[in-house]
């Protein structure tokens, strides 16, 4: 078996033509859909970027126990299991610089080898002690510019001084390195190649030829990095921001097309599996919001694309699966491709059976640490928030106390205790760290970041845009009971139930129907 896994970041499902998107031509995603199974009800798990990747690698939800952080000593990462149990070689090609920050430094080392392409967003790549700040200030919109060092905005404008031609763009280099791997290894057996690019994550920077079809006539400074929060820009500014996102999606489609051409050229369809997905979506003004992390987890963020070509199931090419799936299914799927059993702690299911529509789960649980707990069942979504985000009792459970950019602060750790092992920690006791308002995660992607906090239920059949919350006690009670069951199966800590006023005992179903 040979596997190519393509992972984009912030790729909106509803922008792709196989899912009905019309604003951006995506002919290569159409080509892929003709060769693959297209999954219609595929959801995220833990969010945002690195929590999503921890789910993908370990096959279990992590957002109920901790926020953004490294893989833990007890985690089962599928590349390591492939190596240990079946001798399968794994190679990672990525420009996702979060892997090299404090909060992601244990991920890439799980692969047999890796290639890191520099330059995306705030990657601390190019060193300019005295940039031409005044020239750069004139080039970039004030909302995406600062002279303060060690900030993503300032590092990004420096990095972009060195990204001039199309070949310089990190995503282009990622796919080029992927082709290098295939040139050397495509005739070998038992390998997995992960080609992962940060695009179309913000800032929406693409070569000019991809922007031309979406030209808005904007004459202001570079505006391709939206704020995280409510829309307050003028209409023409919003259109420019969206147009730049469209341009990066078009570039991603082009790069995917180059990979499909490679599969065609060397007839890899007959013996190589291809999996294409993303970590989450991105709001472009829908629900009056930009981005993620600040709002309820609407479908635009939580429901994501997934395509799988399995050469062992050629009759499934061009079909669709309506099974309810999510990101935690990827790890057991990659293991299954090579005949390796999933680890006992994994909560996901192999997607190979669900390609034909087999139903393996009643609901998909997802969320941000410290925010709502959300559930989708294919018909409804239910989003349950704590009564008071600021006053909730919540702890992080970890043996790797780091945030994105730095270790946990001494203030956070001062009141830390030791928790008994969870069912998935292989006997290891964990630090139990109280969440405090001064935590670096609190106002970034934690409780203090959220601008919406009202529990709501949506019927996706009658209200696919999630515009009108539904008042239906019967459905809410049913979904609450299912949520409790899934949280218990995840061995969620007791306060995860208390903060949402949920029963933790076996009486959950009785309690919500009385």
Q: What is the pLDDT of residue 507?
A: 45
Q: Residue 48, preceding bond cis, omega within 30 degrees?
A: yes
Confidence of residue 444 (pLDDT cuts 50, 70, 90): confident
Secondary structure (3-state) at 87: coil
What confidence tens digit (pLDDT) does each residue in 28-80 have?
999 999 999 999 999 999 999 999 999 999 999 999 999 999 999 999 999 99
pTM of structure: 0.96
Q: Where are the domains of the chain?
A: 2-119+163-347, 366-513
What confidence tens digit (pLDDT) does each residue in 397-426 have?
999 999 999 999 999 999 999 999 999 999
Q: Which residue has the higher pLDDT, 130 or 357?
A: 130
Cβ atoms of residues 77 and 57 within 8 Å: yes
How many whole angstroms separate alpha carbon 326 and alpha carbon 59? 10
Give the number of C-alpha atoms closer than 13 A to the C-alpha of residue 504, restricted to the C-beta side.
Answer: 11
The sign one gets for the Cα dihedral 309, 312, 314, 316 is negative
pLDDT of 445 strictly over 90: no
Superfamily of domain 2-119+163-347: Alkaline Phosphatase, subunit A (3.40.720.10)
pLDDT of 512 strictly over 90: no
How many whole angstroms separate alpha carbon 133 and alpha carbon 263? 45
How many whole angstroms separate alpha carbon 80 and alpha carbon 89? 9
When pLDDT is averaged across residues 338-345 and rounded to a whole number, the result is: 97
Q: What is the pLDDT of residue 167?
A: 98
Which residue from 375, 342, 345, 344 is spatially nearest to 361, judged by alpha carbons?
375
Cβ atoms of residues 169 and 163 within 8 Å: yes
How many whole angstroms separate alpha carbon 303 and alpha carbon 283? 12
Q: What is the pLDDT of residue 24?
A: 98
Cβ atoms of residues 215 and 243 within 8 Å: yes
Tokens 């499902």 appear where?
A: 13
**Residue 509 CB burial class (10 angstroms; 0-12, 13-18, ≥19):** middle
Find the DSSP H helices in 266-350: 299-302, 330-337
Which residue from 344, 352, 368, 274 is spatially nearest to 63, judged by alpha carbons?
368
The tokens for 280 are 């989450």
Q: φ, ψ for residue 182 (rounded to 5)?
A: -65, -35
The tokens for 93 are 């090609």
Sheet holding 113-116, edge to edge: 113-116, 89-94, 191-196, 2-8, 272-278, 306-309, 37-43, 320-326
Confidence of residue 510 (pLDDT cuts 50, 70, 90): very low
Whole-number percent of the chain with pLDDT over 70: 98
How many whole angstroms separate alpha carbon 278 and alpha carbon 12? 8
Q: What is the pLDDT of residue 505?
A: 60
The sign one gets for the Cα dihedral 311, 316, 318, 321 is negative
Residue 366 CB: number of other CB atoms within 10 A?
Answer: 29
Secondary structure (3-state) at 179: helix
pLDDT of 478 strictly over 70: yes
């Amino acid at each position: 078996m040979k596997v190519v896994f393509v992972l984009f970041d912030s790729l909106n499902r509803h922008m792709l033509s196989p899912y009905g998107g019309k604003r951006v031509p995506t002919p290569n995603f159409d080509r892929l859909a003709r060769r693959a199974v297209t999954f219609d009800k595929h959801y995220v798990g833990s969010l945002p970027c690195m929590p999503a990747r921890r789910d993908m690698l370990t096959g279990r939800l992590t957002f109920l126990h901790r926020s953004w952080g490294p893989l833990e000593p007890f985690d089962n990462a599928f590349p390591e299991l492939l190596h240990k149990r079946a001798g399968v070689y794994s190679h990672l090609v990525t420009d996702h610089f979060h892997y090299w920050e404090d909060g992601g430094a244990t991920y890439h080392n799980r692969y047999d080898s890796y290639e890191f392409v520099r330059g995306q967003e705030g990657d601390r790549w190019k060193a300019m002690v005295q940039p031409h700040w005044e020239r750069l200030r004139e080039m970039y919109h004030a909302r995406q510019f600062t002279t303060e060092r060690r900030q993503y905005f300032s590092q990004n404008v420096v990095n972009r001084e060195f990204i001039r031609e199309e070949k310089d763009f990190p995503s282009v280099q990622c796919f080029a390195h992927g082709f290098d791997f295939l040139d050397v290894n495509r005739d070998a057996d038992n390998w997995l190649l992960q080609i992962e690019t940060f695009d179309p994550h913000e800032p929406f920077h693409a070569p000019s030829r991809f922007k031309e079809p979406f030209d808005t006539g904007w004459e202001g400074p570079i505006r391709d990095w939206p704020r995280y929060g409510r829309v307050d820009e003028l209409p023409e500014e919003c259109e420019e921001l969206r147009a730049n996102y469209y341009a990066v999606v078009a570039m991603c489609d082009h790069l995917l097309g180059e990979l499909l051409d490679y599969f065609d050229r060397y007839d890899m369809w007959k013996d190589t599996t291809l999996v294409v997905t993303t970590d989450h979506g991105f709001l472009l003004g829908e629900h009056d919001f930009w981005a993620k992390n600040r709002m309820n987890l609407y479908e635009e963020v939580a429901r994501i694309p997934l395509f799988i070509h399995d050469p062992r199931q050629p009759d499934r090419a061009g079909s669709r699966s309506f099974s309810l799936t999510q990101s935690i299914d990827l790890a057991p799927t990659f293991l299954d491709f090579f005949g390796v059993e999933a680890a006992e702690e994994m909560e996901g299911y192999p997607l190979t059976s669900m390609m034909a529509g087999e139903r393996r789960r009643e609901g998909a649980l997802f969320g941000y640490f410290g925010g709502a707990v959300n559930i989708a069942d294919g018909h409804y979504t239910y989003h349950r928030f704590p009564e008071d985000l600021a006053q909730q009792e919540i702890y992080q459970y970890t043996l790797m106390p780091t945030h994105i950019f730095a270790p946990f602060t001494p203030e956070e750790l001062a009141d830390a205790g030791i928790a008994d092992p969870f069912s998935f920690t292989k006997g290891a006791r964990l630090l139990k760290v109280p969440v405090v308002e001064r935590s670096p995660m609190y106002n970034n992607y934690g409780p203090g970041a959220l601008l919406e906090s009202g529990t709501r239920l949506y019927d996706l059949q009658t209200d696919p845009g999630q515009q009108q919350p539904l008042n239906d006690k019967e459905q809410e009670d049913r979904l609450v009971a299912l949520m409790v069951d899934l949280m218990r199966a995840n061995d969620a800590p007791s306060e995860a139930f208390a903060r949402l006023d949920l029963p933790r005992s076996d009486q959950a179903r009785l309690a919500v129907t009385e």
